[in-house]
């Protein structure tokens, strides 16, 4: 065999081996990190304007104009953003007394909310009024433990919603507080309250089976109580597939999210941002290693300023 022929065969063997190995190397390379930012509010209670500059603790804080600017700033920075609300959109200022929720809904639509659940005060002008105000928004009202059969809300809500954010599928469900004894019966009419833990677990399981990378629960149960009343804390501990609970009702300003060990031995995170639109919750998640979740950053952002410029 000539020297040239021998060199050719040796080179071919080396090249062939490299080609055989390269697919294995490509397969072993971890996928790119995916990121999503969850922004959230709760218990805004018709607070469209900032608190007046009257020397009070909350003077200058809140207001939809400042919130909208902050949300847009984060969207420009982060890209994939999900904006959610945990209920009690209505009641608390003359805006609701006069307009029954129309400006609140229009403001949320303008800010680009992706979804919201219902709080007890959202029933304050009756079911028919709430259904009417939904004509001003395109985002869904998400709740899985109220049976609205035989009411005007029967076809105007969703038990869950799946959002496609880039390569990520984010499932969102909602649960509400028991209405009996809290809301006059004539306002919620034939609405039937279903057990929130059973409803949430059943819905979360459905979302997992549909391939969701993350499951979020919008909750208006309240974060925790001194008795055994169902709360976000109990729901987190009894959940199987819920990654994040965005809470409301108890008006708690969390200094940081709370983590609870769920029934699968993993973490379920709970967060809440007080009331009146004073704060915006922000949770930055990264997905790496074949979509393994990691809460990489969590903080609340104060909306507005306490002093005039």
Residue 128, classed as helix, strand or coil, is helix
Global confidence as pTM? 0.89
Q: Give the H/E segment covering residue 201.
A: helix 196-209
CATH code that applies to domain 31-302: 3.60.21.10
Per-residue pLDDT of the chain (309 residues; tens, 9 = 90+): 554 555 544 554 444 444 444 454 445 555 677 899 999 999 999 999 999 999 999 999 999 999 999 999 999 998 899 999 999 999 999 999 999 999 999 999 999 999 999 999 999 999 999 999 999 999 999 999 999 999 999 999 999 999 999 999 999 999 999 999 999 999 999 999 999 999 999 999 999 999 999 999 999 999 999 999 999 999 999 999 999 999 999 999 999 999 999 999 999 999 999 999 999 999 999 998 665 788 888 989 999 876 444
pLDDT of residue 8: 46
* DSSP code of residue 227: S
Among the listed residues 77, 83, 47, the one whose alpha carbon sits nearest the alpha carbon of residue 65: 47
SS (H, E, C) 12-59: HHHHHHHHHHHHHHHHHCCCCCEEEEEEEECCCCCCCCCCCCCCCCCC
What sign for the dihedral angle of Cα 98, 99, 100, 105? negative
pLDDT of residue 296: 83
| Bridge partners, residue 283, by sequence | 38, 298
What sign for the dihedral angle of Cα 285, 248, 146, 268? positive
| Bridge partners, residue 293, by sequence | 287
pLDDT of residue 140: 98
pLDDT of residue 5: 52
pLDDT of residue 291: 59
């Amino acid at each position: 065999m000539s020297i040239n022929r021998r060199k050719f065969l040796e080179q071919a063997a080396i090249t062939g081996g490299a080609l055989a190995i390269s697919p294995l190397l490509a397969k072993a390379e971890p996928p790119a990190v995916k990121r999503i930012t969850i922004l959230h509010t709760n218990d805004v209670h018709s607070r469209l304007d900032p608190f007046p500059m009257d020397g009070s603790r909350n003077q200058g804080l809140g207001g939809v104009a400042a919130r909208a600017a902050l949300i847009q700033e984060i969207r420009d920075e982060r890209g994939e953003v999900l904006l959610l609300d945990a209920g009690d959109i209505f009641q608390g200022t003359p805006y609701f007394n006069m307009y029954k929720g129309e400006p609140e809904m229009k403001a949320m639509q303008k800010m680009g909310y992706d979804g919201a659940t219902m709080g007890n005060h959202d029933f304050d002008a009756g079911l028919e009024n709430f259904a009417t105000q939904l004509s001003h928004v395109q985002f869904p009202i998400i709740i899985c433990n109220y049976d609205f059969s035989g009411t005007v809300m029967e076809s105007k809500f969703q038990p869950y919603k799946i959002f496609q954010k880039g390569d990520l599928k984010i499932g969102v469900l909602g649960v509400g507080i028991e209405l009996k004894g809290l809301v006059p019966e004539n306002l919620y009419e034939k609405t039937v309250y279903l057990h929130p833990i059973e409803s949430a677990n059943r819905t979360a399981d459905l979302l997992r089976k549909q391939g969701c990378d993350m499951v979020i629960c919008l909750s208006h149960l309240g974060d925790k109580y001194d008795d055994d009343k169902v709360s976000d804390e109990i729901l987190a501990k009894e959940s199987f597939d819920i990654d994040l609970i965005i809470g409301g009702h108890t008006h708690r300003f969390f200094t940081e999210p709370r983590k609870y060990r769920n029934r699968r031995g993993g973490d379920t995170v709970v967060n809440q941002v007080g009331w009146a639109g004073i704060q915006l919750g922000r949770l930055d998640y990264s997905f790496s290693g074949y979509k393994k979740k990691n809460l990489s950053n969590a903080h609340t952002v104060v909306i507005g300023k306490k002093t005039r410029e």
